[in-house]
Amino acid sequence: MVCKHCEHQSPVRYDTFDSLSLSIPATVWGRPLTLDHCLHHFISSESVKDVVCDNCTKIQAEGILNGQSIENQRTTFVKQLKLGKLPQCLCIHLQRLSWSNQGTPLKRHEHVQFNEFLIMDIYKYHVPVHKSSQTELNQKNSEETAPGTKDGIAVKPAGAEQPAGTKPHFVNGACPSSFLMSSGTFPLAAFPECSSPVYLYRLMAVVVHHGDMHSGHFVTYRRSPPSPRSPFAVSSQWLWISDDTVRKASLQEVLSCSAYLLFYERVHSRVQHQSLESKAEE
């Protein structure tokens, strides 16, 4: 929360969540609706009017003589939500309940595009770095790496525009499956646009609701259990499950469904795996 009058920022407040409930923004004719649109809508800032600002009240009080009491100063604040800590298993709930002008409940049937892999770095809250500390860090980076690279990986400078005629390596908050390896790790050089993602997730299950707001049926898409020979490998075979009926499904069928719940599991890079292994050895 930031006051628009004095620019004073309120302390960051952390709230726990077990699922990320995302509203579906209004669709634009001719444009696909993506999971990124829902996530950007979730973290977009909004104005909150008539909020008591302690800093404005303090400033006003300092300008009044004889210690006269003053009323609390109410101003407009800018509010923004971000994710403070991301879990190992991320459950995303797409809110398909809406209300008509007459106040009756309606179900939204729009297809929200989502991919097998999801990058969450840009939705993560980062604690602001002190200017002096940031300057020292920038100087250290410039000394250790050549311009335009970071640890040998090309990076996009902050605020730089995407060159015309080029395509980013990931879209819709996700990246193509071809960039990832079957072992569950991914090559860092595959993500020059985001300077190698820290918070990369793989789709594990999807819940779909068929019907309207008054009745219907839930079905689940999920990955097949791993083979006993490779208990830690992630299966590429998908299953469609409805009560006691189970059949095989393709990834394309999964990505084409009107998802209600999405279950993503975090994927660690080679560097993160090595860090975890070294900590385990210690």
> What is the token pair recorded at 187?
């090559």
> What is the token pair recorded at 90?
């991320």
Runs of H (alpha helix) within the chain: 35-43, 54-62, 131-144, 251-256, 270-281
Name, of 115-119, 171-175, 192-196, 209-213, the range with top average pLDDT. 115-119
> Exposed, middle or buried: residue 184 (CB in 10 Å: 0-12, 13-18, 19+)?
middle
pLDDT, average across residues 116-138? 73
- What percent of the chain clears pLDDT 70, i.e. is strictly above it? 68
Contact 157/141 with Cβ under 8 angstroms?
Answer: no
Contact 1/51 with Cβ under 8 angstroms?
Answer: yes
> What is the token pair recorded at 249?
């499904």
Lowest mean pLDDT among 2-6, 19-23, 68-72: 68-72
Confidence category of residue 260, pLDDT binned at 50, 70, 90: very high
Torsion of CA 157, 161, 167, 173, to 10 degrees: 70
CB count within 10 Å of CB 238 equals: 21
pTM: 0.72
Lowest mean pLDDT among 57-71, 153-167, 181-195: 153-167
Confidence category of residue 229, pLDDT binned at 50, 70, 90: confident
In this prediction, residue 114 carries a pLDDT of: 96
Judging by DSSP bridges, how do beta strands 200-211 and 245-249 pair with one another?
A: unpaired
Cα(252)–Cα(114) distance, integer angstroms: 11
pLDDT, average across residues 106-126? 91
> Exposed, middle or buried: residue 201 (CB in 10 Å: 0-12, 13-18, 19+)?
buried
Judging by DSSP bridges, how do beta strands 20-23 and 2-3 pair with one another?
A: unpaired
In CATH, what is the architecture of 2-133+185-278?
Alpha-Beta Complex (3.90)
Output the average pLDDT for the chain.
77
